[in-house]
Amino acid sequence: MANRLIGKRILITGAAQGIGLAIAKACIGEGARLFLVDRDAALLKDTADALRADGAKLGSMTADITDAGAISTAVKRAGDEIGSLNALINNAGVNVFAEPLKSSDEDWDRCFDVNVRGAWNCCKAVLPGMIEQGGGAILNIASTHAFTIIPHTFPYPLAKHALLGLTKSLGIEYASKNIRVNALAPGYVLTQKATEYWNSFPDPKAAEAETMKLHPAGRIATADEIAMAAVFMISDECRFMNAACLTVDGGLSVQQHQ
């Protein structure tokens, strides 16, 4: 399919790699105009240059989503470069994993600053424009950690639970303004983040095999498989979904035992 996102002007955070990049490519393929944000300047430049070389017309800006001023500037620049935003994909996030009693106050702050406050900073920056133009769609990339717990991953699941709360709260608050706010909850996805997680174990290969074995289908998702769900959720095909969360985990979070 193509052209499912014609007329969409989307800001995507954390778009330089991984799931964010896969979503960006899928949105370009469906005719959206994009403005990409990432805090990694070099990676974002390489990514944006490569997408432009493939013919994409897009804007980009290095910004940390924890910096509300920088995000406000990014949204203004997006308006100038691709037109007033009518969609936001809050994808940037960080893993902060520890056993609760070994987790520091700094871990807590970093986790909540990026995964919750950062997403809120972006919502806060785009909502006035969406209200003014009569509607919009926001998609928060949550995780199955938003409703299930894996030991020793504290406080990441708390932050993803809060992101789900933000999704519901804003979805209800602005439904009457024709703004939809939804969450997408991937399980394990093959990205740099997943590799780093396996590398944190003494035997990374065994940890990877263990992860695959946990899954009903014997494998984890590709970033493209998450991206196709994101395209649907941001498109008008999905126009009556609001304050909801779509799980894309191959059934992992439903399975009680193997």
Ligand X SMILES: NC(=O)c1ccc[n+]([C@@H]2O[C@H](COP(=O)([O-])OP(=O)(O)OC[C@H]3O[C@@H](n4cnc5c(N)ncnc54)[C@H](O)[C@@H]3O)[C@@H](O)[C@H]2O)c1
Catalytic residue set: 156
Q: How many residues of this chain bind ligand X (CB under 6 A)?
A: 29
Alpha helices in the chain (DSSP H): 18-29, 41-53, 68-82, 105-112, 119-133, 156-173, 192-199, 204-214, 223-234
Cα–Cα distance measured from residue 136 to residue 239, given in angstroms and rounded to the nearest whole number: 10
The nearest distance, CB 77 to ligand X, in angstroms, is 15
Q: Which range in 36-44, 77-85, 165-173, 232-240 contacts ligand X by CB under 6 A? A: 36-44
Cα–Cα distance measured from residue 120 to residue 136, given in angstroms and rounded to the nearest whole number: 16
- Which residues inside 189-228 make contact with ligand X, applying CB under 6 A? 189, 191-194
The nearest distance, CB 181 to ligand X, in angstroms, is 16
The nearest distance, CB 194 to ligand X, in angstroms, is 5
Residue 233: name the closest of 109, 113, 141 by CA: 141
Q: Which range in 58-66, 123-131, 164-172, 230-238 contacts ligand X by CB under 6 A? A: 58-66
* Residue 155 within binding range of ligand X, rule CB under 6 A: no
Distance of CA 85 to the CA centre of its chain: 17
Per CB under 6 A, the list member of 11, 19, 32, 87 interacting with ligand X is: 19
User: Counting runs of H as helices and runs of E as strands, what totals does the chain give?
Assistant: 9, 9
Do 44 and 120 touch, CB atoms closer than 8 A? Answer: no
CB atoms within 10 A of CB 173: 13
The nearest distance, CB 76 to ligand X, in angstroms, is 17
Computed over its alpha carbons, how large is the radius of gyration of the chain?
Answer: 18
Per CB under 6 A, the list member of 118, 136, 157, 250 interacting with ligand X is: 118
* Residue 32 within binding range of ligand X, rule CB under 6 A: no
Binding site for ligand X (CB under 6 A): 13-14, 16-20, 38-40, 43, 64-66, 91-94, 114, 118, 141, 143, 186, 188-189, 191-194
